[in-house]
């Protein structure tokens, strides 16, 4: 029988305060140990300590306070943002990546004819507002991919500045400041209500643009915090079904690290090698690596290649006799995710 949500929150809070007491009593030793092992704990989504931390982050005010602290630190370390913006414009539509926090991206989408804009995942309202003022446009809507504070934290702040602005997202994900529910691409796995937004550029003779949040990154995918491999596979297949020329605008700047991991999985992948060289040039100048395309991702992103025989051989995984093809691919995805989590812990 599933435990009630109030009990889970209470247990997580009680555990936190117990850990806080230990921290106060043995502060110096805990700081040393914490720096060594915190990243290892957070890399293991199945472990009790991680589940406690994740519950506190997503269900209590402690998560919001942590997000505010991270935002202040990022503003100090990256006063001009972690990456230089490279706007893309085609036939009346302008897309501006806004670097926020330490590696996140928000995206400002502008209709240049009407000077109206929408923003995707405004984690830092100050940075988004600065971009709006620089472009001289009015914010009409916020598109939120999921509830995590590093994507939704600026919703209410922008709503206060732009009273008529609507906040769109999934009703399932309990997004802060949500005012409107929209029908778009439902892609659970990272969170239970994760959504992605597809801008149809065909009406203006431009490629479509996918704003993927934490579902898909350049050569990577999000962690399965609130879903299993089968659920995540279905969501990734939604992305894989899009046209190859669709532009991919992910929620984080993880390109270099993701491509290094992909090299361990498929060291002979020439497409990955070429992309990695390009990414090194971009990051050497602190330039944004977005967008890639869905067609490119199918060539070197291992998380979109669970059907690939080359990847199966590289992982040493074979389909068992009478094993369902979809379940086999989910097993491949699960193995990839485990290896990526271990890679992150190094």
Q: What is the DSSP string of 141-177?
A: EEE---S-HHHHTTHHHHHHHSTT-EEEE-GGGT-TT
The pLDDT score that the predictor gives to residue 31 is: 45
Per-residue pLDDT of the chain (346 residues; tens, 9 = 90+): 555 555 555 555 555 555 555 544 555 554 444 444 444 444 455 567 888 889 889 988 999 999 999 999 999 999 999 999 889 998 889 999 999 999 999 999 999 999 999 999 999 999 999 999 999 999 999 999 999 999 999 999 999 999 999 999 988 877 777 665 555 899 999 999 999 999 988 878 889 999 999 999 999 999 999 999 999 999 999 999 999 999 999 999 999 999 999 999 999 999 999 999 999 999 999 999 999 999 999 999 999 999 999 999 999 999 999 999 999 999 999 999 999 998 886 6
- The pLDDT value given to residue 184: 84
Distance CA 307, CA 298 (A): 10
Using CA atoms, how far residue 309 sits from 90, 328, 337, in Å, is 38, 12, 18
pTM of the model: 0.86
Between CA 76 and CA 204 the distance in angstroms is: 40
Quote the pLDDT of residue 203. 77
Query: Quick one: which of 97, 95, 117 has its CA closest to 209?
Result: 95
pLDDT at residue 84, as a whole number: 94
* Beta pairing class for 195-199 and 185-186: antiparallel
Q: Which of 278, 183, 189, 177 is nearest to 234 (CA)?
A: 189
Q: Tell me the three state secondary structure of residue 72.
A: helix
Q: Which CATH architecture has domain 213-346?
A: 4-Layer Sandwich (3.60)
Question: C-alpha 297: how far from its chain's center?
Answer: 16
Task: Enumerate the β-bridge partners of residue 181.
Answer: 169
| Residue boundaries of the structural domains of the chain | 5-59, 213-346
pLDDT at 21: 54
Strand partners, 113: none
Are 67 and 150 in contact, with CB atoms under 8 Å apart? Answer: yes
Q: Which residues are catalytic?
A: 146, 148, 150-151, 190, 214, 252
Do 188 and 194 contact (CB within 8 A), yes or no? yes
Number of CB atoms found within 10 A of residue 212's CB: 31
What was the pLDDT predicted at 36? 45
Residue 88: count of CB within 10 angstroms of its CB: 16
According to the model, what pLDDT value does residue 315 have?
94
């Amino acid at each position: 029988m599933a435990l009630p949500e109030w009990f889970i929150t209470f247990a997580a809070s009680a555990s936190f305060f117990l850990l806080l007491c230990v921290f106060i009593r043995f502060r110096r030793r805990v700081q040393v140990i914490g720096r060594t092992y915190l990243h290892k704990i957070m890399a293991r989504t199945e472990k009790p300590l991680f589940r406690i931390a994740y519950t506190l982050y997503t269900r209590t005010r402690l998560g919001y306070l942590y997000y505010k602290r991270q935002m202040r630190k990022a503003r100090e370390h990256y006063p001009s943002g972690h990456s230089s913006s490279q706007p893309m414009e085609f036939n009346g539509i302008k897309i501006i990546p806004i670097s926020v926090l330490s590696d996140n991206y928000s995206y400002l989408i502008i209709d240049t004819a009407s000077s109206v804009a929408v923003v995707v995942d405004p984690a830092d309202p100050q940075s988004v507002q600065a971009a709006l003022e620089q472009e001289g446009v009015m914010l009409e809507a916020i598109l939120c991919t999921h509830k995590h504070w590093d994507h939704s934290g600026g919703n209410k702040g922008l709503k206060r500045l732009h009273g008529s602005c609507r906040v769109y997202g999934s009703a399932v994900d309990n997004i802060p400041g949500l005012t409107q529910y929209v029908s778009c691409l439902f892609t659970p796995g990272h969170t239970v209500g994760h959504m992605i937004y597809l801008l149809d550029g065909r009406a203006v003779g431009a490629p479509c643009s996918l704003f993927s949040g934490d579902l898909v990154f350049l050569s990577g995918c999000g962690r399965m915090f609130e879903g299993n491999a089968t659920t995540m596979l279905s969501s990734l297949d939604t992305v894989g079904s899009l046209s190859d020329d669709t532009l991919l605008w992910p929620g984080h700047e993880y390109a270099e690290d993701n491509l290094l991991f992909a090299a361990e999985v498929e060291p002979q992948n020439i497409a990955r090698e070429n992309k990695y060289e390009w990414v090194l040039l971009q990051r050497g100048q602190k330039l944004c690596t977005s967008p890639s395309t869905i067609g490119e991702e199918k060539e070197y992103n291992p998380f979109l290649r669970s059907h690939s025989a080359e990847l199966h051989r590289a992982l040493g995984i074979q389909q068992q006799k009478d094993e369902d093809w979809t379940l086999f691919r989910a097993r491949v995805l699960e193995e990839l995710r485990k290896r990526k989590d271990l890679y992150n812990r190094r």
